[in-house]
Amino acid sequence: MAKITIPTKSTGDTLTASEWEDLMDAVRDGTVSIDTLSILLGGTEVTASAAEMNLLDGLTSSTAELNLLDGLTATTTELNYSSGVTSDIQTQLNTKITESSTDTLTNKTINTASNTITIVEADISDLGTYLANVVEDTTPQLGGDLDANGNDLLNLVVAGFVHPSTILSDGTDTVDWTTGNGQYINLGSNAAITLTFTAPPDDTRLQLHITYGTGANSITWPATVKWPGGTAPTLTGTDAAIDIATFWYDGTNYHGVISQDFS
């Protein structure tokens, strides 16, 4: 074997071209085994192992592609996530949810900017469970109109008469038809009241149950109340007597009749 002389060098020193050529010849013919040689690139020591360096063997990346690593802050663990990836990330993601996918989505937001996700009734195995919960809701509310689509609504119970919390005396009092189609009013002794109506949300039939107190009692009706012949009937007005006024509301006016003197 040829004998070479490798000069003593300090960290940061460089070999001459001739010294480098002798060293490489000795490495190639096995005269010298490099175990502790440090390689500096741009003044930074390369610490990759031989196995790690061999990963570059056969690398076909261009300079521009390698330069994408400049400034990369990903950790080794994060980079290893791409180990074994053989196609672009978007293609692989698109295979995760397919037309026949049975993946379970819980509390997930799906952005369907250019895609459509269709869920058919047969796909929901526990649909009956969700419908059963509607029965358990004692105060369900609709967010809009209920369209029966030509079908009958069966077993409906209309809200009962609404009782007032106080006895009405002189002054103006409101009957709020939005709280129920049937309302009670109780007049105090010698009460003279003027009624105003809060209209129901749609055309409907209404009833007003009137109980009188002692003495003279009188009611002044809203102008939208229309009576047969254009004249309001005379109320019974005697102590403990009951009159029942029935109205048909047409969206504007209340067309009324009174059944009197239930005593």
Residue 142's identity, in one-letter code, is: L
For residue 48, being part of any structural domain is answered with: yes
For residue 243, the enclosing domain spans 171-262
Model-level pTM? 0.43
Q: How far apart are CA 86 and CA 260, in angstroms?
A: 90
- The 3-state secondary structure of 23-58, one letter per residue: HHHHHHCCCCCCCCCCEEECCEEECCCHHHHHCCCC
For residue 162, being part of any structural domain is answered with: no
How many domains does the chain divide into?
Answer: 2
Note the pLDDT tens digit of each residue in 76-111: 777 777 766 776 776 766 666 555 555 565 555 555
For residue 247, being part of any structural domain is answered with: yes
For residue 41, being part of any structural domain is answered with: yes
For residue 152, being part of any structural domain is answered with: no
Give whole-number Cα distances, 259 to 207, 233, 234, 235, 256, in Å.
11, 10, 11, 10, 10
Q: Which stretch, 18-22, 70-74, 101-105, 218-222, has highest mean pLDDT?
A: 218-222
Q: Which stretch, 35-49, 95-109, 133-147, has highest mean pLDDT?
A: 133-147
For residue 133, being part of any structural domain is answered with: no
For residue 102, being part of any structural domain is answered with: no
For residue 77, being part of any structural domain is answered with: no
Q: How far apart are CA 110 and CA 119, in angstroms?
A: 13
Domain boundary among 35, 55, 75: 55
Domain boundary among 15, 32, 55: 55
